[in-house]
Amino acid sequence: MSEVVLITGASAGIGAALGEVLAARGHAITLVARRAPELHAVAARCGDQALPIVADVTQRAEVRRAIDTAIAHFGRVDVIVNNVGRGISRLPSALSDADVDEMIAVNVKPALYGMQEILPHFAARGTGQIVNVSSMLGRVPFATIRSAYCGAKHFLNALTATFRDELRTSHPGVVVSLVSPGVVYTEFGVNAVHGGPDSRALPGGQEPEVVARVIADVIANKATDVYTIPGSRERVLAYLGAAADAAL
């Protein structure tokens, strides 16, 4: 059996596409999401080596249950992909407490729970990989209406970097990877808090299968910081350079 990969947010979009890509590459996969019918449909497409677990990963106990169930079923987990996320359509001047709380609850805490709850298993085995799915908006906050989503993804990036720094000394066999897609042609936009433009109608985006193949390659080659759209790194460096110049 190839590596065992646990994927959250696996009932649609990037998570579902990743499950299918990894299944085709021979991996055993655990698919975790809240929507049971959609999740089981994805698992059926992935074949016999797919384990669907209905769980709400905004709750720490549910993350722990999903991990424990996967370990009990497959004997181990080699990779966890923290993929859950939700957008928002609201200008920063109009953000409410509830808006900010929702962005942290969905975009930050599930990844933190995943990292923390899988760590004892990885530490005991001396190996493992954490893959956090972020966004270009966590690097360059170019979409003003995504305000608190940008902030949440910046928070996720910081947690990923500091978690990596901590484990580099304490558990050097555990790899911590960050993947930053741009626009992805999913229902992300229409499912955003307060609605908003459909991501599938925006220019310059990627199909979820393309992003899924990038993430699958990250699992294969253990890269630590990857963009899914060519030229993204240069865009980030240009933004940071301009911001640094403006601060002088």
Which residues carry out catalysis?
149
Q: Which long-range contacts (CB under 8 A, 24 or more apart) does 33-36 make?
A: 33/8, 33/9, 35/11
Angle between helices 109-125 and 147-170 (to 10 degrees): 10
Tell me the backbone φ, ψ of residue 26, rounded to 5 degrees.
Answer: 95, 10
Can you give the three-state secondary structure of the chain, one letter per residue? CCCEEEEECCCCHHHHHHHHHHHHCCCEEEEEECCHHHHHHHHHHHCCCEEEEECCCCCHHHHHHHHHHHHHHHCCCCEEEECCCCCECCCHHHCCHHHHHHHHHHHCHHHHHHHHHHHHHHHHHCCEEEEEECCHHHCCCCCHHHHHHHHHHHHHHHHHHHHHHHHHHHCCCEEEEEEECCCECCCCCCCCECCCCCHHHCCCCECHHHHHHHHHHHHHHCCCEEECCCCHHHHHHHHHHHHHHHHC
Residue 132 identity = N
